[in-house]
Structure 1
Amino acid sequence: MRYLLLLSTLFAGIAQAAEPITMDVYRDPNCGCCKAWISHLQDNGITVRDHVENDMAAVKTRLGVPHSLGSCHTGVVDGKFVEGHVPASDVLKLRERPDLLGAAVPGMPVGSPGMEMGDRHDAFQVIGVSRDGKQDVLRDYPAH
C-alpha cells in the first residue's frame, strides 16, 4: 500500500511538472520592457495572455501586490501574482510554494529579464510574499 501511495505521489508531481503553464500579464500599453519580459517568458515555455491596461495601480491593488514591491507589469499564474521582472525559472518555482501569494522583483533592475541593456547586470532579488504578508528573499541575483 505504501508503495502505491509513493507511486501516486510521484506521478502527480510529474503530471504537474509536465502541465503547460499559462500566465495572464497586465501591462501599460506604452511599455517596451513589458513586451521584452513577455518574450522571455514565452522563450521559456510559458504561454502568455497579454492584457493591456490603462490603470495598472488598480490591477496591483486588486491582486494584493504590496506597494513597496511595485514594478511596471503584473502577471498572474496559478492564482499568484508575479510582479516585475521575475525570471521564468522563478515563476515556475511558484508552483512549489502554496504558502505564497506571489513573487516580485521590485523596480526595474538592469540586466533582469526584459531589462537587458548591454553587459550591465545590477544585483536584484526575487521577493516572495506569504499569505500573512511576510516578505522573504526567494533568490539573489548578483551583479556582474
Structure 2
Amino acid sequence: MQIHGFQLNIQTVPDTTVYRRQLGIPDELASCQTAQAGPYALEGPVPARDVIDLLRHQPDIIGLINPAKEAQPPKAKSNNNSTGSTAQRTYILHKNGQATALHPN
C-alpha cells in the first residue's frame, strides 16, 4: 500500500473482532486483517487499485472485503460461474450486510 502512496498506521492486536464490528464488518466475513481508509472499512488483502477507486468514487457502502479464508464469502452474490478458481476476489460490503463482487467478470 505504501508504494501506492498510502500512509499507514499499523497496529498489531491479538484479535480484530472489536475493530471489525465497530466498522460494520460481519463476523462471517472476517479475514486476516482489518483496516480503515477514510470512512471505509477494509477487510483482508484488498488490492490497492480497488482502494484507490473506492476513495475516488466514494460510494455509499461500508467498505471492501477480500476474504483470504475462502474463494467466495457467505451472502455474496455474483453472476460469475466460477470454475473452482482459488483466485481471491474483492467484494463490496453494502450497508445492508450483503456482499457483492466488485468485479463480477
- Where on the TM-score scale, by shorter chain, does this alignment land: which range? 0.7 to 0.9
Name the CA distance, whole Å, in 1 between partners of 2:4 and 2:104: 20
Tell me how large the CA RMSD over aligned residues is: 2.1
Task: Find the partner of 1:57 among 3, 9, 17.
Answer: 17
Q: Is the 2:17–2:27 Cα contact (8 Å) retained in structure 1? A: no
Name the CA distance, whole Å, in 1 between partners of 2:52 and 2:69: 20
Question: How big is the shift at 1:72?
Answer: 1.3
Question: How big is the shift at 1:108?
Answer: 4.8
Higher percent of residues as helix: 1
Name the CA distance, whole Å, in 2 between partners of 1:101 and 1:86: 14
1:130 aligns with 2:90: no
User: What is the one-letter code of the residue matched to 2:58?
Assistant: R
1:99 aligns with 2:60: yes
Query: Normalised by the size of structure 2, how large is the TM-score?
Result: 0.74
Query: Normalised by the size of structure 1, how large is the TM-score?
Result: 0.56
User: What is the one-letter code of the residue matched to 1:65?
Assistant: I
User: What is the one-letter code of the residue matched to 2:61?
Assistant: L
Task: State the SS of the aligned residue for 2:9.
Answer: strand
Moved over 4 A (4+): none
Task: Find the partner of 2:27 among 53, 59, 67.
Answer: 67
Q: Which residue of 2 aligns with 1:139?
A: 103
User: What is the one-letter code of the residue matched to 2:99?
Assistant: Q
**Percentage identity across paired residues of the two chains:** 28
Higher percent of residues as strand: 1
The answer to which structure, 1 or 2, has the higher relative contact order (CA under 8 A, 6+ apart) is: 2
Aligned residues: 90
Task: State the SS of the aligned residue for 2:49.
Answer: helix
Q: Is the 1:75–1:81 Cα contact (8 Å) retained in structure 2? A: yes
